[in-house]
Amino acid sequence: MIYPVARRLLFSLPPEVAHRWTLGGLRAALAVPGGRRAVAGLTAAAPRPVQALGLSFANPVGLAAGFDKDARHIDAMAALGFGFVEVGSVTARPSAGNPQPRLFRLKADGALINRMGLNNQGAEATAARLAALAERPVPIFVNVAKSHDKTLSGDAAIGDYVRSITLMAPLADALVLNISCPNSGDGRTFEDPELLGPLLTAVTAALGADGPPLLVKISPDLDRARLEAVARLALDAGAAGFTATNTTVDRSGLSTPVAELDAIGNGGLSGAPLHARAVETVRRLRDFVGPAVTLVGVGGIRGPAEARAFIDAGADLVQLYTGFIYGGPRTVRRICAGL
């Protein structure tokens, strides 16, 4: 009941300021005596145990990449009921990302557009933070991307990914290879099969036989042939599954006026308008890869109905980001209750 009021206040602030305030407030609430119990009383999610990737999850609803880029809020996100947290994207080199403003709300569409540009403190800082965790309250996925630098391509780009993978692998319950960020420095993604094959070979060699399971995060904008080519290459290299999907560059069918979209400029679209397309990607992947491969469905989940749509399409786990911004701290509880 309080969140609609809080949201009105938060939505009057620039999105990145609202993000900082919310997380600051949540951390403060957890730190006061009795605060953790009070928060958990409001937000705790009903158990919906799931096994996937050789891991046990209290529920299948995870926090998607991009919200906790530097692994600073795992404890708080677990307190809000998330069954797992994906930190990152982490890149080998720290990056301030693109100039602000770079995150925009499309309230009429229940969506966000972002061109954050992979701002993060870098793999070394995040590895140190993960290594120092006293507790790991939920499985921790680490999402790795290429450093934000348009001159970084070919073997240098592969070396850059491998540097992060080598640092993060011992600290991750699962590694997610982000090959689909629409905001990479050079505007290209590693979904081009010519680039992806050598990248996957190098990454799986760096992980070795004892490394954590590898998921490949893909875009919703691939046609069927390209999707299947990417999936085939990833499975041949030993990937355990896929996260589908990243944000889309498609802006068709939005209620937000075109002039407003033009004023926003480039960026990936997330939230409600992405949902059907992301579910369709999961469905196509499940048809193509068969039952043994793990699929994480993400895109436009706001409540139990969208989570259920992913599960019915073949997802083992689901994640959200934008629906959490719009829905507030009890979103995971609501989803788990309705599943």
CA distance linking residue 176 with residue 157, whole number of Å: 17
Q: Does 301 bind ligand FMN (CB under 6 A)?
A: yes
Q: Does 147 bind ligand FMN (CB under 6 A)?
A: no
The residue range among 4-12, 151-159, 165-173, 292-300 that interacts with ligand FMN, by the rule CB under 6 A, is 292-300
Query: CA–CA distance from 13 to each of 21, 69, 163, 174 (Å)?
Result: 10, 21, 37, 35
Specify the residue, 37 or 266, whose C-beta has the smaller distance to ligand FMN: 266
Q: Does 264 bind ligand FMN (CB under 6 A)?
A: no
Q: Does 293 bind ligand FMN (CB under 6 A)?
A: no
Q: Pick from 103, 179, 254, 295: which binds ligand FMN (CB under 6 A)?
A: 103
What share of residues in the chain are helix, strand, coil (percent, to 5)?
A: 45, 15, 40
Contact track, ligand FMN, 66-95, x by CB under 6 A = x--x------------------xx------
Query: Could you tell me which residues come within 8 angstroms of residue 130 by beta carbon, excluding any fewer than 6 positions away?
Result: 71, 87, 140, 142, 168, 171, 172
Query: Could you tell me which residues come within 8 angstroms of residue 264 by beta carbon, excluding any fewer than 6 positions away?
Result: 104, 113
Specify the residue, 57 or 326, whose C-beta has the smaller distance to ligand FMN: 326
Specify the residue, 162 or 320, whose C-beta has the smaller distance to ligand FMN: 320
At 299, list the tokens: 């895109």
Q: Does 299 bind ligand FMN (CB under 6 A)?
A: yes
The distance of closest approach from Cβ of residue 47 to ligand FMN in the complex, given in angstroms and rounded to an integer, is: 22
From the list 249, 252, 254, 251, the residue with the least C-alpha distance to 268 is 249
Specify the residue, 66 or 314, whose C-beta has the smaller distance to ligand FMN: 66
Would you tell me which residues interact with ligand FMN (CB under 6 A)?
64-66, 69, 88-89, 103, 112, 114, 116, 118, 143, 178, 181, 217, 246-247, 270-271, 274, 298-301, 320-323
